[in-house]
Amino acid sequence: MEKTESKIFLTGIKPTGSPHIGNWLGAIRPALEAAASFEARYFIADYHALNSVKDPAALRRNTYEVAAAWMACGLDPQKTLFYRQSDIPQVFELATLLSAFTPKGLMNRAHAYKAAVAVNLGKGEDPDSGVNMGLYTYPVLMAADILLFDADFVPVGKDQVQHIEIAVDIAEAVNRNYGKEIFRLPQPFVGETTQTVTGLDGRKMSKSYNNTIPLFVGEAQLKKTVMRIVTNSQSVDEPKDPDSCSVFALYKLFASPEEQDDLAQRYRAGGMGWGDAKKTLFEKMNEALTPIRNRYEELMKNPSVIDRALNEGAQRARKIASEKMEKVRRVVGL
């Protein structure tokens, strides 16, 4: 993609749990790389999290954790607009307005809702059992997040692409009705070079699979977690295949090409046990994670630094949002 400084990148981060290495390499790092070259608006999607997190202490803690994580990984709130969704009332006003342009059938086809219905039907339950309106209308709120801030590109994982397509559909319905380009049409930005990070059991690392390596655990815990990576039962002497091994897959994400070659040779030569391979991985990973872990711990000890950053971000974001919302109201006749 061409480097056009005027393009706006926007993404929402759902505060539903502590970030893991997959989140870092698959979402945080690519988004921060984009923020170095483009105008970026990144926010904590706390109202989205409310659909599933009903414990106030947990929601608050998750929000701090996510904010501290992004700041520790390099987000500079002076350069990147960084705010909490719940601090921007215009998001919710726009969501109500967009609802009037959103066909119900479009929500019936949204993945998250369809998946919930499929699970219910599989269990012989009512299709809508346990589905709240927040889940059902999730794509409308997400469209409001995106359209209010004139996003051109929305960095997301593949699972979110449909939501962006829905945002485009809704934006087009509004633009068509008023014969004006009120809303900019966003595009998903799915990093092609971003790999899927493997979890402890060889599947995709995900909180839902309980196979994650958390980003910010202490050194001892990190080592313990790395030692739990599932390997086959080959003995120390046997030559091993690096390409089918989760330990090696993770090592590749942290090591230089020379270091990767070196470890691959040790695999193929035999005489190296899984314990040694894991220790090599732990040391490399720990080296990369130590500086960000230190910054994270510092921020979590000083939540007022996080509050200040998010409050300043909210002020700037509300200014952008209220100007946009005023224009929208005028066009629709409110």
* Binding region for ligand ADP (CB under 6 A) out of 100-108, 133-141, 164-172, 204-212: 204-212
Minimum CB separation of residue 155 from ligand TRP in Å reads 8
Number of residues that bind ligand TRP (CB under 6 A): 12
* Binding region for ligand TRP (CB under 6 A) out of 7-15, 54-62, 101-109, 115-123: 7-15
Identify the CA nearest to 170 among candidates 196, 145, 143.
143
196, 260, 286, 322: residue in contact with ligand ADP (rule CB under 6 A): 196
d(CA 256, CA 251): 9
Minimum CB separation of residue 301 from ligand ADP in Å reads 25
Encoded amino acid at 84, one letter: R
Placement of tokens 């990070």 in the chain: 197
157, 191, 214, 273: residue in contact with ligand ADP (rule CB under 6 A): 157
Backbone angles phi, psi at 81, to 5 degrees: -65, 120
Cα torsion 18, 21, 24, 27: sign: negative
Which one of ligand TRP, ligand ADP, none is in contact with 316 (Cβ closer than 5 to 8 A by kind)? none
- Quote the Cα angle for 44-147-25, to 5°: 40
* Binding region for ligand ADP (CB under 6 A) out of 22-30, 98-106, 133-141, 245-253: 22-30
Identify the CA nearest to 170 among candidates 106, 217, 77.
106
d(CA 201, CA 206): 11
Footprint on this chain of ligand TRP (rule: CB under 6 A): 11-12, 14, 45, 48, 142, 145-146, 154, 156, 160, 163
Interface residues with ligand ADP (CB under 6 A) are 14, 22-23, 25-27, 156-157, 196-197, 204-208
